[in-house]
């Protein structure tokens, strides 16, 4: 099943996507939602982010080639990706499918995309095991972890480099039925394919991550975990359009706007 959030007048409501229709839902998609009877055309509504994360986790360096590239770009140690120390991102930065990524005027030209699989948690869980870990997973969506590399290198935290407003496109929806083993991630810039990789070819996979995280922390419905990206990105420019397609989920598309210096 495919769950969206979309704008209806002044509010954001939940819906179930079937084909090109959205069936409006009420209640929680995690604990039991019902159809209201209202139906909308998918291409006539404005989508919102598919979930407002309770906690916004991100796995960081979790693919081999990306790790090597980042070791050069921001001075990380490529030889030691080892421990799956989960990181955090901030809700202020989230934007929906089709919303513009806005690059501040004082950013360098090193602003990059990172196409990522996003795990959406649907049940509370702690001390998960390899056998129980997937029980807490509700579904999957797509994330684009926009990153300003000079700030990533200079700042003590990633508050600007990865959490500037609009730097976290997520959507277009949550898909509950996927083939993780067969899934590919394709990133296109202005329609041109930049990279295509096996989505599940992670250094630390979903199950080991969930087991490791929940030794110390409780996952809750609505938490999201961004699983990292592969490869590297060219510098994003004003007017670019970035598409991240995950087979079996869909395509997250966002235009890029670069602000000019006010001076």
The reply on whether position 87 binds its own copies by CB under 8 A is yes
The reply on whether position 104 binds its own copies by CB under 8 A is yes
Binds its own copies by CB under 8 A, chosen from 26, 92, 129, 190 = 92
Q: Which residue has the tokens 């961004």?
A: 226
Q: How many residues bind its own copies (CB under 8 A)?
A: 32
Specify the stretch interacting with its own copies by CB under 8 A; choose among 3-11, 90-98, 184-192, 194-202.
90-98
Q: In angstroms, rounded to a whole number, what is the distance separating the alpha carbons of residues 149 and 91?
A: 20
Specify the stretch interacting with its own copies by CB under 8 A; choose among 10-18, 149-157, 230-238, 246-254.
149-157
Which residues lie below 8 Å from residue 131, measured CB to CB, with a gap of 6+?
none
For the chain, the first-to-last Cα distance in angstroms comes to: 50
Beta-strand relationship, 137-144 and 168-175? antiparallel
The reply on whether position 86 binds its own copies by CB under 8 A is yes
The reply on whether position 123 binds its own copies by CB under 8 A is no
Beta-strand relationship, 2-8 and 47-48? antiparallel
Q: In angstroms, rounded to a whole number, what is the distance separating the alpha carbons of residues 182 and 15?
A: 27
Q: Looking at beta carbons only, is 46 or 155 nearer to its own copies? A: 155
Q: In angstroms, rounded to a whole number, what is the distance separating the alpha carbons of residues 3 and 170?
A: 13
Q: Looking at beta carbons only, is 35 or 88 nearer to its own copies? A: 88
The reply on whether position 105 binds its own copies by CB under 8 A is no
Query: Quick check: 236 and 103 in contact, CB under 8 A?
Result: yes
Contact string 205-224 vs its own copies (x = CB under 8 A): --------x-xxxxxx--x-
Distance set, CA 38 to CA 51, 132, 197 (Å) = 20, 36, 39
Q: In angstroms, rounded to a whole number, what is the distance separating the alpha carbons of residues 247 and 252?
A: 11
Q: Is the peptide bond before 219 cis (omega within 30 degrees of 0)?
A: no
φ, ψ dihedrals at 43, nearest 5°: -85, 5
Binds its own copies by CB under 8 A, chosen from 34, 83, 131, 191 = 83
Specify the stretch interacting with its own copies by CB under 8 A; choose among 34-42, 84-92, 178-186, 229-237.
84-92
The reply on whether position 91 binds its own copies by CB under 8 A is yes
Specify the stretch interacting with its own copies by CB under 8 A; choose among 81-89, 112-120, 186-194, 229-237.
81-89
Report the greatest alpha carbon distance in the chain: 58
Subset of 45-74 contacting its own copies (CB under 8 A): 54-55, 57, 60
Query: Quick check: 164 and 148 in contact, CB under 8 A?
Result: yes
The reply on whether position 160 binds its own copies by CB under 8 A is yes
The reply on whether position 131 binds its own copies by CB under 8 A is no
Beta-strand relationship, 224-226 and 192-198? unpaired
Q: Looking at beta carbons only, is 148 or 245 nearer to its own copies? A: 148
Q: Which residues bind its own copies (CB under 8 A)?
A: 54-55, 57, 60, 83, 85-93, 104, 126, 155-157, 159-160, 163-165, 213, 215-220, 223
């Amino acid at each position: 099943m495919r769950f969206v959030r979309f704008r209806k007048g002044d509010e954001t409501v939940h819906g179930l996507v079937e084909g090109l229709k959205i069936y409006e839902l009420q209640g929680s998609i995690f604990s039991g939602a019902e159809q209201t009877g209202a139906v909308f055309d998918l291409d006539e509504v404005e989508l919102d982010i598919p979930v407002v994360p309770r906690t916004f986790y991100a796995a960081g360096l979790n693919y081999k080639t990306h790790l090597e590239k980042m070791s050069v770009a921001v001075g990380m140690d490529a030889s030691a990706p080892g421990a799956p120390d989960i990181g955090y991102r901030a809700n202020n930065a989230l934007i929906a499918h089709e919303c513009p990524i806005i690059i501040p005027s004082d950013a360098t030209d090193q602003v990059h995309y990172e196409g990522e699989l996003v795990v959406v948690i649907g049940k509370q869980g702690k001390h998960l095991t390899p056998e129980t870990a997937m029980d807490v997973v509700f579904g999957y969506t797509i994330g684009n972890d926009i990153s300003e590399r000079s700030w990533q290198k200079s700042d003590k935290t990633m508050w600007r480099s990865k959490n500037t407003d609009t730097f976290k496109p997520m959507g277009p929806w949550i898909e509950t039925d996927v083939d993780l083993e067969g899934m590919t991630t394709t990133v296109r810039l202005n329609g041109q394919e930049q990279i295509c990789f096996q989505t599940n070819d992670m250094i630390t996979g979903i199950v080991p991550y969930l087991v490791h995280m929940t030794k110390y922390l409780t996952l809750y419905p609505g938490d999201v975990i961004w699983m990292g990206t592969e490869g590297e990105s060219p510098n994003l420019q004003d007017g670019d359009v970035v598409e991240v397609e995950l087979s079996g989920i869909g395509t997250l598309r966002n235009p890029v706007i670069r602000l000019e210096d006010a001076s």
